[in-house]
Structure 1
Amino acid sequence: MLKQAGVRDVRVHDARHTAATLLIEQGVNIRVVQEVLGHMRVATTERYAHVSTPLMRDAGKRLASALWGES
């Protein structure tokens, strides 16, 4: 049925990981993401959210700016 509808076969659980990652990428605080996902501990939420390459680049640029005044 999924194939006929053109929908990828993924687990519902995978959607939670995607939601966590997308929320973090949009700048939503990790504590808010924790509440959205219903996790008791933020450590659980941190395991769900995957850091994207653009966020890593941004972190590197910010660190360089803080250390050497580069943008």
Structure 2
Amino acid sequence: MQTAERLKAGERWEDHDLVFATRHGGPIECTEDWKVWKTILKQAGVRGVRVHDARHTAATLLIEQGMNIRVVQEVLGHTRVTTTERYAHVSTPLMRDAGERLASALWGES
């Protein structure tokens, strides 16, 4: 809620009925979230990537940890699981595991 910000701004508050607003109620700059994201990456020592790339990474890491695809779908906020499937990339360890399981099933090897 913006109650505290409204009180603090007093007469300077501009009511635009926004969910995300400046400290005076006006619209934030369209690049503001990008600047914050870049600052977070720099502080974490991570190379500069898009927020979208981070969503792909999150989907892939959750799948690698054994998370059900439907849960990953909810985490990412996708309406369709097919969208989530496009976000999650199959890693080499998962491919290796699949090959070993298939070999075990076909030839009893591990």
TM-score by length of 2: 0.59
Question: What is the RMSD computed on CA atoms of the aligned residues?
Answer: 2.1
Overall identity of the aligned pairs, in %: 92
Task: Could you tell me which runs of 5 or more consecutive residues in structure 2 were left unpaired when the two chains were aligned.
Answer: 1-39
Change (3 A) 1:11 1:64: same
Query: Counterparts of 1:5 and 1:52 in 2: how far apart (Å)?
Result: 24
- Relative contact order higher in (CA < 8 Å, ≥ 6 apart): 1
Please identify runs of 4+ aligned residues in structure 1 that moved more than 4 A.
1-7
- The unaligned stretches of length 5 or more in structure 1 are none
Per-residue CA deviation, residues 20-65 of structure 1 (Å, 9 max, x unaligned), is 0000000001111011001111110000000000000000000111
Using structure 1 for the length normalisation, give the TM-score.
0.89
1:17 CA displacement: 0.2
* C-alpha distance 64-42 of structure 1, shift in aligned 2 (>3 A): same
Number of equivalenced pairs: 71
- The structure with the larger Rg is 2
Q: Label 1:45 to 1:68 Cα distance change in 2 as closer, same or farther (>3 A).
A: same
Change (3 A) 1:32 1:69: same
Cα displacement (A) at 1:2: 6.8
More helix by share: 1
Q: In the superposition, relative to structure 1, how do residues 69 and 47 fare at CA in structure 2: closer, same or farther (>3 Å)?
A: same
Whole-angstrom CA distance in 1 between matches of 2:65 and 2:76 = 16
